[in-house]
Amino acid sequence: MNKNVFGKKLGEIIDRRRINWLLLCEYNNFPPVQKGVKKKIQKRQQYLEFCTSTLSRIMPSSPELKTQKNSNLNSTLNLKQTEMDESRFKHDDYNTWSRNQLISRLKELERLSSQQEREREQEQKEISGNEKLMNLKRGTRESILHLDKRGNSRDKEKRTAVPRLFDPTKYSTRFVAFKLAYFGKRYSGFEFHANNPTPLPTVEEELWKAFTKAKLIFPHPSQAVGSWEGCEYSKCGRTDRGVSAFGQVIGLRVRSNRPLGRKRGDRDRNVPPMKNEEEIDSYKEKCGYSEKQSPKKIVTESFNTLPRENMVELAAEFLSPREQNKAAEFTKKEDNDIEHDISFDPVADELPYIAILNRLLPPDIRFLAWCPAPPLDFSARFSCRERQYRYFFTQPCFIPIPNSIDPFFKPESATKDGFLDIEKMRAAAKLYEGLHDFRNLCKVDASKQLDNFVRRIYHADIEEVSETSSTLEFLNSASFQLSKYDSNSKCPKVYAFVLHGSAFLWHQVRHMMAILFLVGQGLEDASIITELLNVEKNPRRPTYQMAAETPLVLWDCIFAHEDDTERSEKLQWIYIGDTPGTADMKYGVPTGGLMDDLWRTWRERKIDEILSSSLLGLVAGQGESLANLNGRPNGKGRSQKVFDGSDTPKLQGKYTPVMKKPVMDTVDMINQRYAIRKGFESSTDLKEQGFRRLNNPGPDHNVESDIQV
């Protein structure tokens, strides 16, 4: 490269760097995202001075540096090169030139003129482009961020991520059990019904969304929302709308972190064999995936978490001795041609299921534990040996009236409006224990065609729950208490109806609690329970109202061995934080753990309780003293208040005893009428032919047991 060409290139570099430097200097406020930009400008200025000195040394006379003033630029260097060879053509006298010399001279001048014109146009374009950049609004960060090394603004093309279809064949699966808790006030029950839309979401629907989003289950793209097909799903209890659970259990097969086994001599094989291209194209057309969206290798049959051909399965022994002879059906014969990773720890190396799911679930649904090896033939519904419920209520159950204005108050009375007789309720609860027919203490679901309502209750009692609420001092005064009131006792108190049983009918616990409330208020004797359990004498249920749903909690589900009379838990639950190195999942460091989530929920409700109790106590102490208050003369004619577990009592006028209320039809009549309405001759005909088709029960359906509350 000669000096002229090199000088021209170097001049262009100097010009561009000078423009960039001047442009950045024009913006006094450098963008904060460009850290160290001033140092870069200083280095660029030093490099500019070096190039200028180099140019002056190698080309002392040939290039001419032209400076053009501009309103926005301090100076712009433009190198000009003159390629006229003065020694070739002499200007002394054109008269002595021949015709051919004159023509050559003319062509040379035209060529140089055209070249200079092009150079001027190019310079004008560069100056015009720089002026546009300089006229941009000062301080605009985007203008400087997009300046490239040549001083031009250029937007980077946004690369759109091409969605890829998840390939289930690359992953092994395992059957596990999960224990979870949820507050049911915001949900329409636990179970999701695809063809029965509800005003509120269901807990099961939220679980399905979380498992699907985490790619722990692989529903087919055409599969309906909430469908657990292909993952061996089962649930323990089906709580109703508003009912909470602190020990709900589900079982299903999910994606595992364990590597798939490899055939010996085929160590390079990463995934199982794929189908041919024709099946892939057919699948893409069926699912509506474009060429960019669908992967090259898809197996349509693998959108499930069923056991893989070359995987390891962990399971505990059967919970029932009668099932031991079926162990061979669940034990796969080991394939000697398959190599497995023996270093894989089924707990420590597994996916953090609890942490993954809790990040995707609403704050009122949280997983608590998981079982890595449930028993063989495990079903969360039918393997459960005991279900525990708790129904919470306060004492007093509603705001009492001062004795001075209470028309029903009697000093010698053992009851008072708003207060429950806890001892009578305890005695009545014990009558529930044992094996009984509870058809008069539940709601009959005709679609299930049940004829067996016998259930066993292991334990029933009223227990005090300590340290749960703020004390309302005004309730401890003698004006609100009975004469036998213990002054050392503080009000209000919280109690719970604790109930343990093998299985429960639809709304059974709420009907049992409603009767206990009537006994506690003195409206019924404890013998009412004996009357309702005697189905031979009373085959038709009286039309009494069941208790409210919000205070009810499915407390725990116990999976014990069938021969264990103590019903001790056999599932090896791994609670969140138990795995070494995962304590932050329980106690977030600094935040984000399960306890941190629950604390926020508790504190929000605790502050509401403190504020409401403070206001209640403030209003109770304002105005005239209780001794000076007078009630209305016609106060004795008011309606009877009946407590049902809700926030306010129900007014029922003159109370009618339960056994004198209108009665419903017998169970046989209810089932018969439903069968005829569905087009069958009788209830027996429906059971023999079509009730499974009508109800379309899931894999955990059982005619003999409907575990709803």
41 with 180, same domain? no
Distance between CA atoms of residues 225 and 241, nearest Å? 20
Residue 511 lies in a domain: yes
Residues forming a β-bridge with 371: 177
239 with 300, same domain? yes
DSSP 155: P
CATH of the domain at 191: 3.30.70.580
Cα R_g (the chain), whole angstroms = 42
Residue 72 lies in a domain: yes
Q: How many CA atoms lie within 13 A of 160 on its CB side?
A: 4
Residue 228 lies in a domain: yes
pLDDT digits (tens, 9 = 90+) for 285-297: 544 444 444 443 4
Tell me if residue 235 falls in helix, strand or coil: strand
Contacts made by residues 604-608, CB under 8 angstroms, sequence distance 24+: none
| CA distances for 202 relative to 193, 362, 392, 548, 554, angstroms | 9, 12, 23, 19, 16
Distance between CA atoms of residues 382 and 704, nearest Å? 11
474 with 352, same domain? no
Q: Cβ distance 495 to 463 under 8 Å?
A: yes
Residue 478 lies in a domain: yes
Please name the residues in contact with 536: beta carbons below 8 A apart, sequence gap of 6 or more.
none
Residue 39, phi then psi, degrees to nearest 5: -65, -40
Q: Name the domain boundary from 360, 392, 418.
A: 360
Residue by residue, DSSP assigns 17-83 as HHHHHHHHHHSSS--TTSTTHHHHHHHHHHHHHHHHHHHHHH-SSS-EEEE---SS-S--EEEE---
Q: How many CA atoms lie within 13 A of 121 on its CB side?
A: 6
Distance between CA atoms of residues 692 and 698, nearest Å? 10
| Domain extent for 248 | 168-360
- Asked whether residue 450 carries a pLDDT value surpassing 50, the answer given is yes
- Mean pLDDT for the chain overall: 75
Residue 694 lies in a domain: no
Q: Tokens for 446?
A: 């005709």
Q: What angle do CA 217, 374, 201 make, to 5 degrees?
A: 45
Distance between CA atoms of residues 261 and 273, nearest Å? 13
Distance between CA atoms of residues 131 and 71, nearest Å? 9
101 with 187, same domain? no
CATH of the domain at 504: 3.30.70.660
74 with 196, same domain? no
Give the best-scoring range by mean pLDDT among 35-39, 433-437, 637-641.
433-437
Distance between CA atoms of residues 382 and 236, nearest Å? 8
| Lowest mean per-residue pLDDT among 62-76, 334-348, 672-686 | 62-76
Distance between CA atoms of residues 698 and 61, nearest Å? 95
Tokens 């980077």, located at residue: 156
| Lowest mean per-residue pLDDT among 78-82, 367-371, 541-545, 552-556 | 78-82
Residue 494 lies in a domain: yes
469 with 351, same domain? no
For residue 597, the surrounding DSSP H or E stretch is: helix 594-620
Cis peptide before 63 (omega within 30 of 0): no
pLDDT digits (tens, 9 = 90+) for 468-490: 655 566 666 666 666 665 556 67
C-alpha closest to that of 637 among 324, 461, 402, 407: 407
Residue 690 lies in a domain: no
85 carries an active-site annotation: no
17 with 118, same domain? yes
Q: Tokens for 497?
A: 């109806």
130 with 184, same domain? no
**Average pLDDT estimate for 71-79:** 41
| Lowest mean per-residue pLDDT among 267-271, 602-606, 631-635, 663-667 | 267-271
| Lowest mean per-residue pLDDT among 191-205, 266-280, 666-680 | 266-280
Cis peptide before 590 (omega within 30 of 0): yes
Of the candidates 15, 85, 167, 240, the residue annotated as catalytic is 240
Residue 622, phi then psi, degrees to nearest 5: -90, 155
Tokens 């720890």, located at residue: 345
**Average pLDDT estimate for 436-459:** 93
- Asked whether residue 631 carries a pLDDT value surpassing 60, the answer given is yes
Please name the residues in contact with 574: beta carbons below 8 A apart, sequence gap of 6 or more.
347, 369, 370, 371, 372
Tell me if residue 339 falls in helix, strand or coil: strand
Distance between CA atoms of residues 329 and 621, nearest Å? 73
pLDDT of residue 547: 96
**What percentage of the chain exceeds 70 in pLDDT?**
62
Q: What angle do CA 582, 587, 589 make, to 5 degrees?
A: 85
Residues forming a β-bridge with 180: 248, 367
Give the best-scoring range by mean pLDDT among 179-183, 285-289, 695-699.
179-183
Q: Name the domain boundary from 325, 360, 395.
A: 360
pLDDT digits (tens, 9 = 90+) for 250-296: 999 999 988 876 655 554 444 444 444 555 455 555 444 444 444 43
Task: Provide the 10 A C-beta neighbour count for residue 246.
Answer: 17
405 with 477, same domain? yes
> Domain total for the chain?
3
pLDDT of residue 209: 94
Residue 185, phi then psi, degrees to nearest 5: -65, -30
Q: Name the domain boundary from 624, 644, 660.
A: 660
For residue 104, the surrounding DSSP H or E stretch is: helix 99-134
pLDDT of residue 521: 92
pLDDT of residue 636: 55
Q: Tokens for 584?
A: 């932050």
503 with 649, same domain? yes
Distance between CA atoms of residues 556 and 164, nearest Å? 41
- Asked whether residue 424 carries a pLDDT value surpassing 90, the answer given is yes
pLDDT digits (tens, 9 = 90+) for 92-126: 567 777 878 888 888 888 888 888 888 888 877 76
Q: Cβ distance 33 to 90 under 8 Å?
A: no
| CA distances for 444 relative to 22, 318, 667, angstroms | 86, 33, 7
Q: Cβ distance 366 to 210 under 8 Å?
A: no
Task: Provide the 10 A C-beta neighbour count for residue 699.
Answer: 11
| CA distances for 147 relative to 49, 155, 356, 469, 553, angstroms | 22, 9, 42, 64, 63
Helices (H), 262-320: 277-287
**Average pLDDT estimate for 499-516:** 96
Distance between CA atoms of residues 469 and 214, nearest Å? 39
383: amino acid identity, one letter: S
Q: What angle do CA 323, 327, 332 make, to 5 degrees?
A: 155
pLDDT of residue 490: 73
Distance between CA atoms of residues 604 and 608, nearest Å? 7
C-alpha closest to that of 474 among 619, 263, 260: 619
Give the best-scoring range by mean pLDDT among 137-141, 231-235, 317-321, 433-437.
433-437
Tell me the pairing of strands 262-263 and 338-339.
antiparallel
Distance between CA atoms of residues 297 and 274, nearest Å? 6
437 with 514, same domain? yes
Classify the C-alpha dihedral 435-438-439-444 as positive or negative. Answer: negative
pLDDT of residue 124: 76
Residue 600 lies in a domain: no
pLDDT digits (tens, 9 = 90+) for 549-596: 999 999 999 999 888 888 888 899 999 888 887 788 888 776 678 888
**Average pLDDT estimate for 328-339:** 51
126 with 203, same domain? no
Distance between CA atoms of residues 557 and 243, nearest Å? 15
Q: What is the dihedral of CA 104, 106, 112, 117, to 10 degrees?
A: -150
For residue 463, the surrounding DSSP H or E stretch is: strand 454-465
pLDDT of residue 604: 93
pLDDT of residue 537: 94
**What percentage of the chain exceeds 90 in pLDDT?**
35
Residues forming a β-bridge with 367: 180
**Average pLDDT estimate for 658-675:** 93
Classify the C-alpha dihedral 92-93-98-99 as positive or negative. Answer: positive
Q: How many CA atoms lie within 13 A of 298 on its CB side?
A: 24
C-alpha closest to that of 170 among 335, 311, 357, 339: 311
